[in-house]
Amino acid sequence: MVIITARIPKRRLIALGMAAVFCMAALLAGLALRLPGGTAAASAEVKGIRDDRDRVAYLTELGWQVSGGPQTEELLIPEMTDASYQDYLALQAEQGFDLTRYQGQRVKRYTYEITNYPGGVQGVQATLLVYRNRVIGGQVQAADGSFIQGLAYPNRAAGAGGGRTALA
């Protein structure tokens, strides 16, 4: 049997103990933020979107009025993105959506006609991306492609085009 002993100065032992405590605190804080109910889980994803009634209710909560049923498509979130897709990912990220988590997944896209866009602008649509009963992204855009914006209802103080991005 071999016994090894070491002499560690008290100062060094205390420093190692404090470093271990700080590491554990950082680890626990990181885990708490990733768990459901964590304060920094800044995701705009909405669960429990099972049918058209749920999707329309979600859009209504955001301030939109829609007419008719949606156009429905299934699409694949690309695994590799080019520069043209980066602006779209940035728009989604600004709203708290992270589409990179769904790369390679098939999602449903529901597009509704908006009837109450500020300023009486016609031909505006709301699009929701839904994966397994969860809204994972979306936007409001002109049907002619002239602008795109996040799902939030525009600030009336900003005018009819508040918060929208013109597309070339």
Q: What local confidence, expressed as pLDDT, does residue 40 receive?
A: 37
In this structure, the answer to whether residues 141 and 92 fall within a common structural domain is: yes
- Residue 128, number of CB atoms within 10 A of its CB: 23
Q: How many domains does the chain have?
A: 2
Q: Choose between 18 and 158: higher pLDDT.
A: 18
In this structure, the answer to whether residues 50 and 10 fall within a common structural domain is: no
In this structure, the answer to whether residues 72 and 142 fall within a common structural domain is: yes
- For 107-126, write each residue's pLDDT tens digit: 999 999 999 999 989 999 99
In this structure, the answer to whether residues 60 and 21 fall within a common structural domain is: no
Nearest partner of 114 among 99, 100, 125, judged by Cα: 125
In this structure, the answer to whether residues 12 and 56 fall within a common structural domain is: no
Length of the chain: 168
Q: Which residues contact 137 (CB under 8 A, 6 or more apart)?
A: 92, 95, 97, 99, 128, 129
In this structure, the answer to whether residues 61 and 18 fall within a common structural domain is: no
In this structure, the answer to whether residues 122 and 82 fall within a common structural domain is: yes
pLDDT at 90 over 80: yes
Confidence of residue 1 (pLDDT cuts 50, 70, 90): confident
In this structure, the answer to whether residues 37 and 50 fall within a common structural domain is: no
Q: What local confidence, expressed as pLDDT, does residue 20 receive?
A: 57
Q: What local confidence, expressed as pLDDT, does residue 146 receive?
A: 93
In this structure, the answer to whether residues 69 and 32 fall within a common structural domain is: no
- For 139-167, write each residue's pLDDT tens digit: 999 999 999 999 999 874 344 444 555 55
| Boundaries of domain holding 15 | 1-41
- Residue 125, number of CB atoms within 10 A of its CB: 18
In this structure, the answer to whether residues 89 and 156 fall within a common structural domain is: yes
